[in-house]
């Protein structure tokens, strides 16, 4: 059930209405039912995976908690009998048991994710290696369909398991509550990757109907559909044309495709998240923001703090920090400092952790070398700019342009171009082709062709381009206004006729200009596939 399908609109509308009609004590249970119905639409077989994740995580985290409880009880009962060393030894044993359980949980779930998502990628690589040795005996690919949203709910649930292990909060006692946390339908297919202590604050609460809350939620949903249907899916037509014929569309066209894709991805992903957060808001549930005007970032590090925030913070909290402070890494750090000097020695462990995180980020996005290289290129850019920081400081001490608007705009544009260039790995079929297409931007000077009408051969008319430019301008202006607070709330403070005109106008724009229905067939959200 795509967000852009009529079925979903009916489904979401029915959920919201029934949610407030039902007695409040049934609200969260009803959401669980809705979530499972929603997921079943993607294929009843897929329920196995989400049930497996929920059941395994529930029982293992409950066991982790019970070990913690027993430990507390034991220490209380044997307060006078154990000395400090004895307590420490006992705690270490218990912690080890918990650690093994956590590993089991991670193994089962990440393992399941790996099997369904990466088996064929592994087979592909094995076959490539076999091919290098001149053998024709290749392995057959497996017929495994990737269950919808598995990367999102597995990561979300594993974050929960790790937090329970760390003692950040106790394991949820109610199995059904954990099931809802895992499967909450608005965020099931493309995130955000919520944290339990954050989402649970409002997920299980009883909510009274509030016209203001529902209105604000639906307004955000509408804004999401504007981005998705009017901008992203319209832009997709040209993007597909440009990347579909890389031998034709080189040089300036590759550059155009790069920028077009940047706009499409932004409108698609942020639009989808707006729909997610808007529906949740209409239900009275607060879902973590996933974007804070990422294209206003002045460097790539800042960008990753503002784009797909919940994924970035997941990798930071559950991979980067644990790797950085784990025993072997600390030993490695000590060794590098001793053998390579303080300056280099202290950097290498950070670089290593960074490398692991970005490798994981890349492969999380997709089982292909394109994504892995994309992740590692991001890593390289971040590390290089980090290492050049002293140079930047020196430069700005000599040339006083840092505070000027022009320089700020330069940094923003530079960051957008850099990220857009990296995203070319999303577009082309393999890594060499991506590098080649990037190279043609500098070797083939066909920029004039962009203005000789060739862009009209990409499946878009002049009207479509005007709509895209106007749409991008509206998004830009809204982003500018957002810097001073919620735009919806500011509109909400205007007189009723103004509010009505704004939202009804936007609704009509989506209805008329949206790329949906026969002849269009709205595409899946790009992040669904992850």
Partner 1 sequence: MKKKAIKVIVSAVIVILALYGLQRLLMPKYMSGVVEGAMIAEYYDEEKDHDVIFIGDCELYENFSPQVLWDEYGINSYIRGSAQQLIWQSYYLLEETLSYEKPDVVVFNVLSMQYNEPQRETYNRMTLDGMKWSMSKVNSIKASMTEEEEFLDYVFPILRYHSRWNQLTDEDFKYFLNRDKVTFNGYYMRVDVKAAENVPEGRPLSDYEFGENAYNYLDKIRELCEKEGVELVLVKAPSLYPYWYDEWDKQIEEYAGEYNLKYYNFLEEIDEIGLDFTTDTYDSGLHLNLSGAEKMSRYFGKILTEDCGLKSRRGEEDLEKSWDEKREAYNAEIKRQQENIEKEKTEE
- The binding site for partner 1 (CB under 8 A) comprises 6, 463, 496, 500, 504, 508, 511-514, 516-521
Nearer to partner 1, 90 or 507 (CB): 507
Nearer to partner 1, 55 or 513 (CB): 513
Extract long-range pairs of 468-472: CB within 8 Å, 24+ residues apart: 468/231, 468/234, 468/235, 468/263, 471/226, 471/227, 471/230, 471/231, 471/234, 471/267, 472/231, 472/263
DSSP characters for 449-466?
GGGTTGGGGSS--HHHHH
Quick one: DSSP state of residue 228? I
The span from the CA of 223 to the CA of 228, in Å, is 9
Closest distance to partner 1 from the beta carbon of 490 (Å): 20
Contact (Cβ atoms closer than 8 angstroms) between residue 323 and residue 290: no
Nearer to partner 1, 384 or 508 (CB): 508
Nearer to partner 1, 408 or 499 (CB): 499
The pair of structure tokens assigned to 263 is 């706009």
**Other residues' Cβ atoms within 10 Å of the Cβ of residue 369:** 19
Closest distance to partner 1 from the beta carbon of 6 (Å): 5
Which region holds residue 191: left if phi is over 0, alpha if psi is between -120 and 50, else beta?
A: left
Closest distance to partner 1 from the beta carbon of 9 (Å): 9
Nearer to partner 1, 299 or 523 (CB): 523
Task: Please report where in the chains the tokens 């193994």 appear, as a residue.
Answer: 107
Nearest CA-CA partner of 232 in 202, 268, 262: 268
The span from the CA of 154 to the CA of 34, in Å, is 19
Nearer to partner 1, 202 or 215 (CB): 215
Nearer to partner 1, 188 or 232 (CB): 232
The span from the CA of 372 to the CA of 359, in Å, is 6
Helix (H) or strand (E) holding 98: helix 84-132
Closest distance to partner 1 from the beta carbon of 204 (Å): 31
Nearer to partner 1, 145 or 462 (CB): 462
Closest distance to partner 1 from the beta carbon of 522 (Å): 12
Nearer to partner 1, 219 or 378 (CB): 219
Closest distance to partner 1 from the beta carbon of 512 (Å): 5
Closest distance to partner 1 from the beta carbon of 463 (Å): 5
The pair of structure tokens assigned to 23 is 């007695």
Contact (Cβ atoms closer than 8 angstroms) between residue 264 and residue 239: yes
């Amino acid at each position: 059930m795509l967000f852009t399908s009529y079925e979903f609109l009916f489904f979401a509308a029915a959920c919201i209405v029934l949610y407030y009609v039902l007695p409040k004590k049934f609200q969260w249970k009803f959401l669980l039912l809705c979530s499972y119905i929603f997921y079943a639409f993607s294929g009843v077989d897929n329920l196995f995976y989400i049930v497996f994740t929920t059941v395994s995580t529930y029982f293992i985290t409950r066991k982790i908690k019970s070990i913690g409880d027993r430990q507390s009880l034991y220490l209380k009962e044997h307060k006078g009998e154990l000395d400090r060393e004895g307590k420490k030894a006992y705690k270490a044993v218990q912690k080890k048991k918990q650690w093994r359980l956590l590993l089991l949980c991670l193994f089962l779930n990440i393992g399941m994710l790996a099997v369904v998502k990466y088996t064929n990628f592994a087979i592909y690589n094995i076959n490539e290696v076999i091919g290098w040795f001149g053998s024709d005996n290749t392995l057959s690919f497996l017929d495994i369909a990737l269950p919808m949203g598995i990367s999102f709910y597995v990561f979300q649930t594993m974050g929960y398991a790790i937090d329970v292990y760390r003692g950040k909060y106790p394991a949820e006692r109610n199995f059904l509550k954990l099931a809802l946390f895992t499967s909450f339908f608005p965020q099931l297919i493309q995130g955000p990757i919520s944290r339990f202590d954050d989402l649970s604050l409002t997920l299980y609460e009883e909510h009274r109907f509030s016209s203001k809350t529902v209105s604000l939620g639906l307004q955000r949903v509408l804004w999401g559909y504007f981005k998705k249907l009017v901008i992203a899916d319209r832009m997709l037509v040209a993007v597909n044309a440009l990347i579909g014929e890389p031998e034709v569309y080189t040089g300036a066209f590759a550059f155009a495709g790069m920028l077009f894709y940047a706009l499409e991805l932004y409108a698609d992903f942020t639009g989808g998240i707006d729909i997610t957060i808007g529906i949740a808001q209409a239900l009275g549930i607060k879902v973590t923001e996933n974007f804070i005007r990422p294209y206003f970032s002045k460097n790539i590090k800042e960008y990753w703090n503002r784009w797909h925030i919940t994924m970035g913070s997941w990798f930071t909290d559950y991979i980067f920090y644990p790797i950085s402070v784990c025993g072997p890494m600390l030993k490695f750090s000590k060794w590098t400092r001793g053998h390579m000097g303080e300056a280099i020695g202290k950097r290498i462990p950070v670089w290593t952790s960074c490398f692991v995180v970005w490798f994981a980020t890349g492969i999380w996005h997709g089982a292909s070398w394109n994504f892995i290289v994309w992740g590692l290129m991001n890593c390289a850019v971040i590390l290089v700019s980090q290492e050049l920081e002293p140079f930047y400081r020196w430069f700005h001490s000599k040339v006083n342009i840092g505070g000027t608007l022009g320089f700020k705009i330069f940094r923003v544009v530079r960051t957008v171009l850099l990220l857009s260039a990296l995203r070319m790995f999303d577009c082309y079929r393999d890594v060499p082709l991506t590098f080649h297409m990037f190279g043609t931007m500098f070797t083939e000077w066909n920029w004039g062709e962009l203005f000789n009408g060739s862009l009209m051969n990409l499946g878009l008319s002049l009207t479509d381009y005007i709509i895209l430019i106007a749409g991008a301008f509206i998004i830009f202006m809204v982003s500018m206004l957002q810097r001073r607070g919620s735009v919806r709330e500011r509109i909400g403070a205007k007189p009723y006729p103004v509010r009505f005109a704004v939202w009804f106008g936007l609704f009509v724009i989506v209805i008329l200009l949206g790329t949906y229905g026969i002849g269009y067939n709205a595409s899946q959200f790009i992040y669904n596939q992850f």
